[in-house]
Chains A and B, each alone.
Chain A
Amino acid sequence: MKRSLIVFTLLLSGAAWADGNANLAPAVSNLKWKTECSDCHMAYPPALLPERSWRKMMAGLGSHFGQDASLDTATAKEITDYLANNSAERAGGKRAKKVLGALGPNEAPQRISETAWFVREHDEVAPQVWKRAKIGSPANCNACHQGAEQGNYAENQIRIPR
């Protein structure tokens, strides 16, 4: 009895862990966000940056990481509102706390891969692994996370290419 209780508790906490970390799909999607933000790279989960980061990014699309990613005003507004409504603060939960926890109130990081949360989650990945031809950089979530496009970042979906 005692043993099965322990197993049951472990299963439960496993499920809770998976729920807290592995599913990064936004609660609602948005067609403009999905299509416009995935032209040059994957559409990254809105919950991985605070609202202020997304607002700053969307206000600077004319030079987006050195490239022109400008959008018409109506599209930009729709996507900004969507990102704000699904940002780390709005998504809530443990992960939001971890994403937001290490940031000062005015810090607005522009790279998800530079947040303390991301760095901690990937601390077992050696620097040379990121540089492999099939990975390239930490911006290519779907190089290793097979379900990234669907928001699935579960451990059992990870295949690190050689």
Chain B
Amino acid sequence: MTRFAFLFAGLFVCSAAQAAPQDLLQSYAVQAKQENPQFQAFSAARGEQLYHAKRTHSSGKMLSCASCHTDNPKSAGRHEKTGKAIQPLAPIANRDRFADTAKVEKWFKRNCQDVLERACSVQEKGDFVTYLLSLK
């Protein structure tokens, strides 16, 4: 009985973690349509571009998402300032990614400001998540 309960709980946790990024993308799609009636779909290719795009920050530093998350989102990263290890960003390598909406929003707010010095649009966030989910 105990073993069955564990198995059941395990199944539930797995399916919840896998469904979450899709739910997040769906809610981004709803928001994107509200922001832009011409919205069609999210694009992994645009997300990939955004991930690698290098930009000169007002501090003079050349920054991109890859500065901390590395050129391969399946690899562990390193905080560009403190050196602290960062778990991989791609859900294939780290199933906790994009499973908690509040956490996702917290980091988009911070990191879009850190790299782009502005907020990201819903289109950008959706493209970005679509790209990371497309990695196998």
Complex Cα distance, B113 from A65, in Å, reads: 13
Check A68 for interface membership: any CB of B closer than 8 A.
yes
The reply to whether A65 and B81 form a contact with Cβ atoms under 8 Å apart is yes
| Interface, chain A (partner B; CB < 8 A) | 40-42, 65-72, 136, 139-140
16 residue pairs of the A-B complex, CB under 8 angstroms, read: A40-B84, A41-B79, A41-B84, A42-B84, A66-B59, A67-B110, A67-B114, A68-B110, A68-B111, A70-B109, A71-B106, A72-B106, A136-B82, A136-B83, A139-B82, A140-B82
For B111, what are the chain A residues with a Cβ–Cβ distance below 8 Å?
68
Which residues B81-95 have CB closer than 8 A to chain A? 81-84
Which residues B65-114 have CB closer than 8 A to chain A? 79, 81-84, 102, 106, 109-111, 113-114
Q: Interface extent on B, as a size class?
A: 10 to 19
Closest to A69 in B: B110
Interface 1/0 per residue, B103-127 and A, CB below 8 Å: 0001001110110000000000000
For A41, what are the chain B residues with a Cβ–Cβ distance below 8 Å?
79, 82, 84
Complex Cα distance, B106 from A70, in Å, reads: 8
For A71, what are the chain B residues with a Cβ–Cβ distance below 8 Å?
106
Contact of A40 among B59, B82, B106, B113 (CB under 8 A): B82
Closest to B112 in A: A68
For B84, what are the chain A residues with a Cβ–Cβ distance below 8 Å?
40-42
The smallest beta-carbon distance between B16 and chain A, in angstroms, is 20
The reply to whether A40 and B79 form a contact with Cβ atoms under 8 Å apart is yes
**What would 10 more interface pairs be, CB under 8 Å, given A40-B84, A68-B109?**
A40-B79, A41-B79, A66-B81, A67-B81, A68-B113, A70-B109, A72-B106, A136-B82, A136-B83, A139-B82
For A66, what are the chain B residues with a Cβ–Cβ distance below 8 Å?
59, 81
